[in-house]
Amino acid sequence: MEWQWLPGHLDDLATATAQHLQLALLPVVLGLIISLPLGIVSVRWRWTYPPIFGIANLLYAIPSIALFVFMSQYVTGLSVVSAIIPLALFTLSVLVPNVVDGLKQVPDPVRQAATAVGFGTLRRLMQVELPIAVPVIVAGIRVATVASISLGSVAGIMGLGGLGELFQDGQQRDIPSEVFAGIVLTILLAFVCDVILVLVQRALTPWSRARKGAAA
Amino acid sequence: MSGFLNFLLPWLTSPAQWSGQDGVPNRVSEHIFYTVLALAVAMLLALPAGMFTGHTGRGGFLAASLANFARALPTIGLLVIIVQGMGIGLVPPLIVLVALAIPPILINTYEGIRSVDAEMKDAARGVGMTGRQVLFRVELPAAMPLILLGLRTAAIQIVATATVAAYVGLGGLGRFIFDGLSRQDYQALAGGTVFAVLLALVVTLVFMLLRRLLVPRGVRLQEKA
Amino acid sequence: MKGTPATMRKLIGLTSLGAAALLALSACGGGTPAAQSTAKASSGTVTVGSANFPENVLLGEIYAQAMEGKGVKVEKKLNIGSREVYFRALKRGELSMLPEYNGALLTYLDPKATAVTTAETNTALKAKLPSGMALLDSAQAEDKDSVVVTKATAQKDHLTTLADLKPVAGKMVFGGPPEFKTRKQGIVGLKSEYGINFKSFKSLDTAGPITVSALSKGQIQAANLFTTDPAVLTKGFVVLKDPKNLFGAQNVTPVVNDKLVPANAKQVMNQVSAKLTTPELVAMMKKVNVDKDDPSDVAKQWLKDQSL
């Protein structure tokens, strides 16, 4: 492989990476905003879970390129939004089950204790159940983020921006080093986001560290 | 919904869609062929590795890291670079499909065997089973649900990724999507998408059946409890 | 919230920070396409689009930079897709200018068109353009679709023109972009004008490296490449002659949304077209495809050399 293309194009790589961040991370935020209420509803009214879960999985089975095409041709045109909405829908298949699992694994005694102390339903949810569910939810966010970063490159071959454009241009003009750079940057981006999320999780659950310290 | 069906019906019922290289039967069978082939190769590589690491307990961290790493790989980038190195054909996209299918199989097999009840393994050794017998007669059957889940995840992953492989000239259902886009033939695009989703559904059903057949009754009952 | 545990406060804090950061990032993206178009209509920004192959990206860059140089506000949306895809965007007003090829566009709008010369093509095209769209001056530069075979194949089957393909096409696999199969200036026309029936069609890339490689390796026996492609020369391929002019006149001709493109922008584009010849285009394509220079750099250099 010849590497001479790379040195002169570092700013292009930086722009593509920044664009990709927006392209891939906004969907996760959107997906979370949708999944949290959906998950809470599924736990509270158990019968809603099978249909919600089914739809989320169905969305994931749709080939990504089809949704990108549909959005850009019929709905939101040639802008980043045409990629963001499908990516957000894809995150649902991971985030909804994880929100549900996270909430379900809150031990019943804890829930009952909270009610006994006088917490209302909403307060119990916000101050007890969700914090305990954080590890499982964050695990889902990690998977959704990595998947979103990876899937987001498909948007690039439709002219919607991001690291995928490196793959398109690299293929059209036969520049393997450009494609390689795109692959490496995608992996790096995913790795960095994953690490950040692990740190966020640690920050949000100080009790897990405390417990370990006490046991030692 | 009915509007969508009305949109698709002329395309579905036209005889041109059901014959020849571009016809639905050919593309669906191509797609199934890629899926089965890639899954088989991935199984051959990942199952032994998963069983070994699960049984011995070594290499678990490596397996988990590999799975995370593979999830981050951009499919299109991989396809392009391998085709740039090897040209078009069946093998280059197949390499990518296999590479992306290995992690779920590996991780689930490892987890499945790892999580077999330690007491059960102990009891098996106590009865006099060798290590290999423990693996094949106790751990593997007990791990079957998770292993099947890994295989199913991998299969659906392959079905979805194979559609993207049409970008570098591969056949299969992805052709309806990419060709449909280029030719503004939205019926073909929608049709290809529908069949891809149907195929994923079929895969899910197949694995439900396999579950019924391969998971020992005792393990299934234990799961329900 | 009184009594909120530290976790929740941290969570809310982090989420707000993250959301704010992402909103800031997305502010760079702008509003919906419809909102952007109306905004542009009033501010006179020209949105330049292009097809998904390097030469058209190059042409997009050339016209865009020329206009920018003369003070026109330009937004580029290059590398979109096939004509079937990007032309819709032009009709919708998402794009306001495309560096088109007159013959190909004419056949797209009117598959029965029979125009042969540049003048005929442009007259017919002006009649067929959707209302609201206008044709600017054609450049002398042409880039035609062509059917190409390897030197070995040409010698073996004695191929010099497209008509020579008729007896042997039945055992040949043809490779080209997906849209070539359904176009008049494609498989459809090859069949109706020259009676050619290939054994099968392989959808590959848009006259790009995959097609070139497949032809070289013999995975396909005939391919669709562009006449300005340096690969034809470097690989020693043979371009089959087109006596019936199926592939028509293909002058680079900007198509614009009449209302969204201001008069001074149109003038600049005509100035550019006046200087664009086929040899110039071929030389630039060599830089883009062989030397791997960026289309935007090659465009900038050429405009400088032409004092545009």
Q: DSSP states of C47-116 as a string?
A: EEEEESSHHHHHHHHHHHHHHHHTT--EEEEEEEE-HHHHHHHHHHTS-SEEEEEHHHHHHHH-TT----
Cβ–Cβ gap B72/A64 under 8 Å? no
Which pLDDT score, from 0 to 100, does residue A155 have?
A: 84
Beta bridge partners of C174: C201, C222
Tokens at residue B30, please? 């191509």
**Partner A contacted by B43 (CB < 8 A):** no
Cβ–Cβ gap A204/C7 under 8 Å? yes
Distance between CA atoms of residues B63 and B61, nearest Å: 5
Q: What is the mean pLDDT of residues A5-27?
A: 91
pLDDT tens per residue across span A150-175: 999 988 887 778 999 999 999 999 99
Which of residues B223 and C276 earns the better pLDDT score? C276
Which pLDDT score, from 0 to 100, does residue B140 have?
A: 86
Averaged pLDDT of chain C: 87
User: CA of B175: which chain C residue's CA is closest?
Assistant: C203
Binned at pLDDT 50, 70 and 90, residue C38 comes out as: very low
User: Which residues of chain C neighbour B79 with C-beta distances below 8 Å?
Assistant: none
Which pLDDT score, from 0 to 100, does residue A82 have?
A: 87
User: B94, B34 in Cβ contact below 8 A?
Assistant: yes
Nearest CB among C26, C53, C85 relative to A22 is that of: C26
DSSP C4: -
User: Which residues of chain B neighbour A157 with C-beta distances below 8 Å?
Assistant: 76, 167
**Partner C contacted by A78 (CB < 8 A):** yes
Cβ–Cβ gap C210/B88 under 8 Å? yes
Averaged pLDDT of chain B: 87
Q: Which residues of C47-77 are buried (b: 16+ CB within 10 A; e: fewer)?
A: bbbbbbbbbbbbbbbbbbbbbbeeebebebb
Cβ–Cβ gap A163/B75 under 8 Å? no
Residue owning tokens 């090897």: B86
**Partner B contacted by C158 (CB < 8 A):** no
ipTM of the shown complex: 0.85
**Partner B contacted by A176 (CB < 8 A):** yes
Which pLDDT score, from 0 to 100, does residue B27 have?
A: 93
pTM for the full predicted model = 0.86
User: CA of A69: which chain C residue's CA is closest?
Assistant: C85
**Partner B contacted by C203 (CB < 8 A):** yes
Distance between CA atoms of residues A76 and C48, nearest Å: 18
Distance between CA atoms of residues B18 and A71, nearest Å: 28
Nearest CB among A66, A179, A186 relative to B189 is that of: A66
**Partner B contacted by C178 (CB < 8 A):** yes
Give the H/E segment covering residue A37.
Answer: helix A10-44
Alpha helices in chain C (DSSP H): 6-27, 33-43, 54-69, 83-92, 102-109, 118-128, 151-157, 189-194, 209-216, 230-234, 263-275, 278-289, 295-305
Nearest CB among C10, C19, C289 relative to A204 is that of: C10
**Partner B contacted by C81 (CB < 8 A):** yes
CA torsion sign, A182 to A188 to A194 to A196?
Answer: negative
Interface mutation vs chain B, best among C173, C203, C204, C217, most B CBs within 10 Å:
C203
pLDDT tens per residue across span C71-100: 999 999 998 888 888 898 898 888 999 999
Counted across chains B and C, CB pairs separated by less than 8 A come out at 52
3 state DSSP class of C226: strand
pLDDT tens per residue across span C41-80: 446 789 999 999 999 999 999 999 999 999 999 999 998 8
Which pLDDT score, from 0 to 100, does residue C41 have?
A: 45
pLDDT tens per residue across span A101-133: 898 888 889 888 988 988 888 888 888 888 888
User: Which residues of chain B neighbour C81 with C-beta distances below 8 Å?
Assistant: 181-182
**Partner A contacted by B208 (CB < 8 A):** no
pLDDT tens per residue across span B166-201: 988 889 999 999 999 888 888 898 899 999 999 999
User: B94, B42 in Cβ contact below 8 A?
Assistant: no
Give the H/E segment covering residue A165.
Answer: helix A164-172
Interface mutation vs chain A, best among B80, B152, B156, B203, most A CBs within 10 Å:
B80
Q: How far separated are the first and last CA of chain A, in Å rounded?
A: 52
pLDDT(A198) > 70: yes
3 state DSSP class of C258: coil
User: Which residues of chain A neighbour B178 with C-beta distances below 8 Å?
Assistant: 65
Give the H/E segment covering residue C228.
Answer: none
Cβ–Cβ gap A61/B174 under 8 Å? no
User: Which residues of chain C neighbour B185 with C-beta distances below 8 Å?
Assistant: 182
User: CA of C21: which chain A residue's CA is closest?
Assistant: A22
Chains that touch A (3 or more CB pairs under 8 A): B, C
Q: What is the mean pLDDT of residues B37-46?
A: 95
Nearest CB among A62, A146, A170 relative to B80 is that of: A170
**Partner A contacted by B78 (CB < 8 A):** yes
Distance between CA atoms of residues A43 and A37, nearest Å: 10
**Partner A contacted by B136 (CB < 8 A):** no
Beta bridge partners of C241: C161
Tokens at residue A165, please? 């454009």
Binned at pLDDT 50, 70 and 90, residue A16 comes out as: very high
Q: Which residues of B183-211 are buried (b: 16+ CB within 10 A; e: fewer)?
A: bbbbbbbbbbbbbbbebbeebeeebeeee
User: Which residues of chain C neighbour A202 with C-beta distances below 8 Å?
Assistant: none
User: Which residues of chain B neighbour C214 with C-beta distances below 8 Å?
Assistant: 87-88, 169
**Partner A contacted by B183 (CB < 8 A):** no
